[in-house]
Amino acid sequence: MNKNLERLYNGLWKENPTFVLMLGMCPTLAVTTSAINGIGMGLSTTVVLVLSNMLISALRNLIPDRVRMPAFIVVVASFVTIVQFLMEGFTPALYTSLGIYIPLIVVNCIILGRAESYASKNPVIPSMFDGIGMGLGFTVGLTLIGIVREILGNGSIFNVTITPLNDFHITLFGLAPGAFFVLGCLVAIMNVVRKKMEEKGKPLPAVQGCLGGECSSCTLSSACTGKSLVHQVEEIPPVDPKDVAKPQAMADAVKHTANAKNTEDVEKSGSDSSYADDDLTGKEEK
């Protein structure tokens, strides 16, 4: 039970997908025009994440390693289709306001990332709690950004107008540029937090998504890029890491000792020569 609670805490706080890992930025920017949209998107992503985590974890010994990415994608896409139908039937207003971003949950890197890094290696129950934690963390993130943008852009919270704020709202924050500005400021704030935490000696986990910089350095690039989709086994030669690590370490050790010997030799020879010089000078004096 402790492990499950730890997964919840991990998703909601320690590795919050929106604020710490900065994953799933496309929906974060697109649907946070209001707090309600943020909650809707977050919860539908949570449902897909929990269900796909559970199924992938249950099937983890059946899916061949070589075709796991296509298998994950099919599982996720099936659940997204189900969620899409449910939303169309029961929450039509939310369905129309989220629009194309519901089918695009398939390519949300949180879901494939959790499938690859957690669900495919752990039993069903912890995977479920991991999905719940990560999903709720994402929901909280989207809702908070949605609240900020709704207050700034529309002068309201959850569609309830706040009269004193309503006179000062800036419509721009409800539009596309506002999304970029709010996220840019969020990244800047997180930079400060990161620095503070590092000074305290408790560094935060690294940014994993596209905001980390280069796509090639992204930890999810193996999960996202097409190359690994089918060619995974051929691309990375199946060499046991121990075999690689040992000779290198030994070579390093040899180098170090060799270097040390060399420097010693040099020092000796230097000192020898100086002695010799002394001798010579002594001889000359004599």
Q: Which stretch binds another protein (CB under 8 A): 114-122, 129-137, 142-150, 179-187?
A: 179-187
Tell me: does residue 218 bind another protein (CB under 8 A).
yes
Contact 104, 41 (CB under 8 A): no
Residues 83-102 interacting with another protein (rule: CB under 8 A): 84-85, 100
Q: Which stretch binds another protein (CB under 8 A): 26-34, 35-43, 151-159, 272-280?
A: 26-34
Residues 52-81 interacting with another protein (rule: CB under 8 A): 70, 73-74, 77-78, 80-81
Instruction: Give the separation between CA 50 and CA 41, rounded to whole angstroms.
Output: 14
- Report residue 102 as tokens: 């519901």
Tell me: does residue 172 bind another protein (CB under 8 A).
yes
Choosing from 8, 30, 59, 157, the residue that interacts with another protein (CB under 8 A) is 30
CA–chain centroid gap for 240, Å, is 26
Contacts of 120 (CB under 8 A, 6+ apart): 56, 57, 60, 63, 68, 72
Choosing from 94, 112, 132, 148, the residue that interacts with another protein (CB under 8 A) is 112
CA dihedral 174, 113, 13, 20 (to 10 degrees): -60
By C-alpha distance, which of 88, 102, 96 is closest to 48?
Answer: 102
Choosing from 91, 103, 117, 125, the residue that interacts with another protein (CB under 8 A) is 103
Tell me: does residue 188 bind another protein (CB under 8 A).
yes
Choosing from 213, 237, 238, 247, the residue that interacts with another protein (CB under 8 A) is 213
Tell me: does residue 187 bind another protein (CB under 8 A).
yes
By C-alpha distance, which of 58, 59, 46 is closest to 11?
Answer: 46
List, in sequence order, the alpha helices (H) in the chain: 2-9, 25-31, 35-58, 68-90, 92-98, 109-114, 124-154, 163-166, 176-200, 221-224, 227-235, 241-285
Choosing from 215, 236, 266, 280, the residue that interacts with another protein (CB under 8 A) is 215
Choosing from 54, 55, 94, 106, the residue that interacts with another protein (CB under 8 A) is 106
Q: Which stretch binds another protein (CB under 8 A): 35-43, 59-67, 118-126, 207-215?
A: 207-215
Tell me: does residue 226 bind another protein (CB under 8 A).
yes
At its nearest, how many Å lie between another protein and the CB of residue 10?
24
With respect to another protein, which residue has the nearer C-beta, 63 or 124? 63
Tell me: does residue 260 bind another protein (CB under 8 A).
no
Place of tokens 């039937």: 89
Instruction: Give the separation between CA 114 and CA 52, rounded to whole angstroms.
Output: 10
Residue 219 neighbours by CB distance under 10 Å = 15
Instruction: Give the separation between CA 64 and CA 52, rounded to whole angstroms.
Output: 17
Contact 145, 32 (CB under 8 A): yes
At its nearest, how many Å lie between another protein and the CB of residue 100?
6
Instruction: Give the separation between CA 212 and CA 219, rounded to whole angstroms.
Output: 9
Tell me: does residue 38 bind another protein (CB under 8 A).
no
Residue ranges in contact with another protein by CB under 8 A: 25-26, 29-30, 70, 73-74, 77-78, 80-81, 84-85, 100, 103-104, 106-107, 109, 112, 172, 175-181, 183-185, 187-189, 191-192, 209-215, 218, 224-227, 229-230
